[in-house]
Chain A
Amino acid sequence: MFEAIAFYLFAALTIGMFTITVMTSQALYALTAMAAGMIFISAFFFMLGADFLGVVQIIVYTGAVMALYAFGMMFFDTTRTLVEKRENPRTIFLLGVIAATLVVFIMVSPIISSNIEAHYPIDAALGNSQAIGYVLFTKFLVPFEVAAVMLLVAMIAGIVLAGKKMDKSLTLMAEEEIAFMNATQDKPQDEEGAH
Chain B
Amino acid sequence: MEITLAHYLVLSGVLFAIGLIGVMRRKNLLMLFFATEILLNATNIGFAAIAHFHNDLTGQMFAFFVIAIAASEVAVGLGLLIVWYKRTGKIDLDIMTSMRG
A residues adjacent to B (C-beta < 8 A)? 1, 3-4, 7, 11, 14-15, 18-19, 21-22, 27, 30-31, 34, 37-38, 41, 44-45, 48-50, 52-53, 56-57, 60-61, 64-65, 68-69, 71-73, 75-76, 78, 82, 84-86, 89, 92-93, 95-97, 99-100, 103-104, 107-111, 113, 116, 118-122, 128, 131-132, 135-136, 139-140, 143, 147, 150-151, 153-155, 157-162, 166-167
Q: Are B79 and A160 in contact (CB under 8 A)?
A: yes
Residues of B within 8 A of A109 (CB): 6
A57-B44, A85-B27, A119-B56 in contact; A104/B10 too (CB < 8 A)? Answer: yes
Q: Are A78 and B91 in contact (CB under 8 A)?
A: yes
Contact of B78 among A15, A72, A99 (CB under 8 A): A72
Q: Are A116 and B54 in contact (CB under 8 A)?
A: yes
Chain A proximity of B42: nearest CB distance (Å): 8
- What would 30 A/B residue contacts be, using CB atoms closer than 8 Å? A1-B1, A22-B18, A27-B30, A27-B31, A31-B34, A52-B60, A53-B60, A53-B63, A56-B67, A60-B71, A61-B67, A69-B78, A78-B28, A84-B28, A86-B25, A95-B24, A100-B14, A103-B16, A107-B6, A107-B9, A120-B58, A121-B57, A143-B61, A151-B72, A154-B73, A157-B76, A158-B75, A158-B78, A161-B79, A166-B83
Residues of B within 8 A of A110 (CB): 6
The 3 closest A-B pairs by CB, nearest first: A100-B17, A161-B79, A103-B13
Q: Are A50 and B51 in contact (CB under 8 A)?
A: yes
Residues of B within 8 A of A7 (CB): 3, 7-8
Q: How far is the CA of A100 from the CA of B19 in the complex (A)?
A: 10
Q: Count the A-B residue pairs with Cβ separation under 8 angstroms: how many?
A: 246
Q: Are B24 and A78 in contact (CB under 8 A)?
A: no
Q: Are B61 and A140 in contact (CB under 8 A)?
A: yes
Q: Are A41 and B35 in contact (CB under 8 A)?
A: no
- Tell me if A's interface is mostly helix, strand, loop or mixed: helix
Q: Are A15 and B85 in contact (CB under 8 A)?
A: no
For B78, the closest partner residue in chain A by CB is A72
Residues of B within 8 A of A15 (CB): 11, 14-15, 18
Q: Are A82 and B20 in contact (CB under 8 A)?
A: no
Contact of A155 among B22, B24, B25, B75 (CB under 8 A): B75
- Interface residue ranges of B17-51 to A (CB < 8 Å): 17-22, 24-28, 30-31, 33-35, 37-38, 41, 44-45, 48-49, 51
Residues of B within 8 A of A150 (CB): 68-69, 72
Chain A proximity of B17: nearest CB distance (Å): 3
B96 contacts A by Cβ under 8 Å: no
Residues of B within 8 A of A97 (CB): 17
Residues of A within 8 A of B19 (CB): 18, 22
User: Interface readout for B68-100 with A: 1 if CB under 8 Å, 0 if not?
Assistant: 111111111011111101100001101000000
